[in-house]
Amino acid sequence: MQFSTALLGFLAATGALAAPAADANNANTVTVTLRGASELATQTQLGKNEIKKPIGAGSEFSSVELAAHNLKSDKGQDLRCRIFDARGKPITVTRGANVDTTFSDAGKGEWTFKTTKVSKVQCGTKFVAAPAKRDVDGALEERANGPLRVTLSGPSELATQTGLGEKDAKAPVGSKGPYNQVTLNVGSGKKEARCQLIDAQNKVITLVRGANVDVTFGDGGKGPWKAENGKNFNVKQIKCDPSFKSRN
């Protein structure tokens, strides 16, 4: 069967005539797949340090996927690439909790972005991943409020989080209660960090977790503590101190 030059050009632009799959043994080749509406899909092959106009550059796309064939960056991480919009600006892509302007293979599927035209594709061994947004937000919160995170939860889906330093005292964020359990996450603080809860009568609340009964509580990755009497409780203050020790 013979095709006209015009038809071949149309097929290439729409992705129906995709570039052949890259040779996995070619250590300098990566394949970037762009996808859009109506089954539009194109493949563009690049060197690991190259910038190129993608196949089907005039079309609009909404996702991108990289096959890097186990190539590594200069830092030993998965090789990364990025794409640019019609104005020549890097396009922000997302995959799960990751939000970035560069993307990797890692065997985790495609990255998505707001539907737009892609003018250029660039791969580079100098590209590194941005921290996941949740990690950035967590780091900023920790610097502002301290490494310890006390989560109080109760009936009617009430739940609050209060950030504290290793030696600190604060009223709980949001509400005094009632609560029925408390959990400590030490973050980047010391694993042996401990805190206690003070009720409205300025009395320390005795807590239990499994066989442990104590007036202070730690992290330990073993879940929440509950009041010794099994009842709900109000919290006037959360206090953390390096001098607190476990009874057990």
Q: pLDDT tens-digit profile of 75-114?
A: 556 789 999 999 888 898 888 777 788 998 877 788 999 8
The verdict on 21 and 115 lying in the same domain is yes
CA distances from 6 to 53, 55, 182 (A): 20, 16, 69
Does residue 101 lie within any of the structural domains? yes
Give the 3-state secondary structure of residue 30: strand
Residues 40-66: tens digit of each pLDDT? 899 999 998 999 999 998 899 999 999
Tally of domains in the chain = 2
The verdict on 138 and 103 lying in the same domain is no
What is the domain-level CATH number for residue 83?
2.60.120
Does residue 248 lie within any of the structural domains? no
Q: Does the model's pTM come out above 0.95?
A: no
Does residue 247 lie within any of the structural domains? no
The verdict on 231 and 140 lying in the same domain is yes
Does residue 246 lie within any of the structural domains? no
Domain with 211 in it: 134-240
The verdict on 107 and 19 lying in the same domain is yes
What the block records as the tokens of 150 is 């006390």
Q: Measure CA 103 to chain center.
A: 14
Residues 127-185: tens digit of each pLDDT? 877 765 555 555 656 666 788 989 888 876 667 888 899 999 999 987 888 999 999 98
Give the 3-state secondary structure of residue 139: helix
The verdict on 14 and 85 lying in the same domain is yes
Does residue 129 lie within any of the structural domains? no
pLDDT at 221 over 70: yes
The verdict on 70 and 159 lying in the same domain is no
**Residue 78 and residue 70: Cα distance in Å, rounded?**
7
